[in-house]
Amino acid sequence: MSLYRTELRRLAKRRFTRWMSLLGLLVLAMVVIGVFFTNEKIDAAALAKAERAAEQQWQRDVRHNAQYRAECDKAKAAGTAQAEDFPQDCASIQPPPREAIETQWFLPSTFDFRENFGDTLLPLAAILALVGFVVGASFVGAEWNTGGMMNLLLWRPKRLTVLLTKLAALLTGLVALAVPTTVLWFGSFWLVATFRGSTAKMTSGAWQSFALTGLRGLVLALVTATIGFALASLGRHTAMALGGVIALMVVGQFGLGILLAMAGVRFAEAWLLPTYAVAWMQKKVTLEDWNTCQATYYGECKPDTLDITWQQSSVMMTVGFVVILGAALWAMRRRDIS
**Is residue 244 within 8 Å of 273, Cβ to Cβ?**
no
Query: Phi, psi at residue 102, to the nearest 5°?
Result: -85, 140
pLDDT at position 248, please?
61
pLDDT at 20 over 70: yes
- What pLDDT was estimated at residue 37? 92
**For residue 232, pLDDT beyond 90:** no
Which residue from 232, 221, 215 is spatially nearest to 166, judged by alpha carbons? 232
In the three-class reduction of DSSP (H, G, I as helix; E, B as strand; rest coil), residue 197 is classed as: strand
**Closest to 280 in 3D by CA, of 227, 193, 213:** 213
pLDDT of 6 above 80: yes
What residue spans define the domains of the chain? 3-39+111-334, 44-106
The torsion angles phi and psi of 305, rounded to 5 degrees, stand at -125, 155
For the ranges 75-89, 188-202, 215-229, the lowest mean pLDDT is seen at 75-89
How many CB atoms are located within 10 Å of the residue 268 CB? Answer: 19
pLDDT tens string 210-227: 999 999 999 999 999 999
User: What average pLDDT does range 184-210 have in this prediction?
Assistant: 93
Provide the pLDDT confidence category of residue 106 given band limits of 50, 70 and 90: confident
Identify which has the larger pLDDT, 86 or 129.
129
How far apart, in whole angstroms, are the C-alpha atoms of residue 221 and residue 216?
Answer: 9
Eight-state DSSP code of residue 253: I
What pLDDT does residue 226 have? 94
Maximum mean pLDDT: which of 30-39, 147-156, 238-247: 30-39
Contacts of 155 (CB under 8 A, 6+ apart): none
Q: What is the pLDDT of residue 297?
A: 46
Q: From 292, 314, 311, 313, select the one nearest 303 (Cα to Cα).
A: 292
pLDDT for position 209: 94
d(CA 68, CA 58): 15
Check pLDDT > 80 for residue 264: no
| Mean per-residue pLDDT, 57-65 | 87
